[in-house]
Chains A and B, each alone.
Chain A
């Protein structure tokens, strides 16, 4: 049974880059015809899709975040990552990683503050 776990700094300064990693266990990130997603949720608000990466390495991003987002895959570590540049307080949220949309990590809170 595949499990996902987000990790990374819980506090990021404004204008800096938010970097998170999702570690996949119980299965290979490069096997199967899956894609791997990042989703976020500000406190008390709804879900926002950030983007996804296929096992081939191709990506799709939320148009509203596209200029600041990069999602990458590290098959040797069975991980995929999110980089979000030039963050502001509006990027404060719980960040989730997911396989397609059926398996989700527990989420990690990232606060943008000086």
Chain B
């Protein structure tokens, strides 16, 4: 199955900026992969943050933004807060006949 790769872990200082990336084993990530981003804290269900590369939900804090960066999808946190410490997952769509979605392995973000 297709592999979607994220940084295993990142560390950022409070108030800082960090970018998480999401790469596809099949090549460059484009808007056609409809990148989604999720935040998951221990013991909780994932919470959706971004859909369709850069679209935010009504509950998504303004400091979160999604984009395409080079050949990857990216999630940028600007002005990081302590409560942003969590696992972050990206999700990509692989269309065609099977129309399947594949999650990345997740990035553990530490705010220190």
A63–B98 CB distance below 8 A: yes
Q: Which residues of A contact B36 (CB under 8 A)?
A: 101
Contact of B103 among A48, A103, A106 (CB under 8 A): A48
Asked if A47 is at the interface (CB within 8 A of a chain B CB), the reply is yes
Q: With A47-B89, A107-B45 in contact, do A101 and B100 touch (Cβ < 8 Å)?
A: no
Number of B interface residues at 8 Å Cβ cutoff, please give it.
21
Q: Taking chain B's interface residues, is the majority helix, strand, or loop, or is none over half, making it mixed?
A: strand
A46–B106 CB distance below 8 A: yes
Interface residues on A, range: 10 to 19
Asked if B105 is at the interface (CB within 8 A of a chain A CB), the reply is yes
Question: Would you give the shortest CB distance from B104 to chain A, in whole angstroms?
Answer: 7
Q: Which residues of B contact A39 (CB under 8 A)?
A: 46, 103
Q: Which residues of A contact B102 (CB under 8 A)?
A: 49
Asked if A80 is at the interface (CB within 8 A of a chain B CB), the reply is no
Q: Cα distance A62–B4 when bound, in Å?
A: 14
Question: Would you give the shortest CB distance from A16 to chain B, in whole angstroms?
Answer: 25
Q: With A102-B48, A102-B51 in contact, do A47 and B106 touch (Cβ < 8 Å)?
A: yes
Q: Which residues of B contact A (CB under 8 A)?
A: 1, 36, 38, 40, 45-48, 51, 57, 89, 91, 98-106
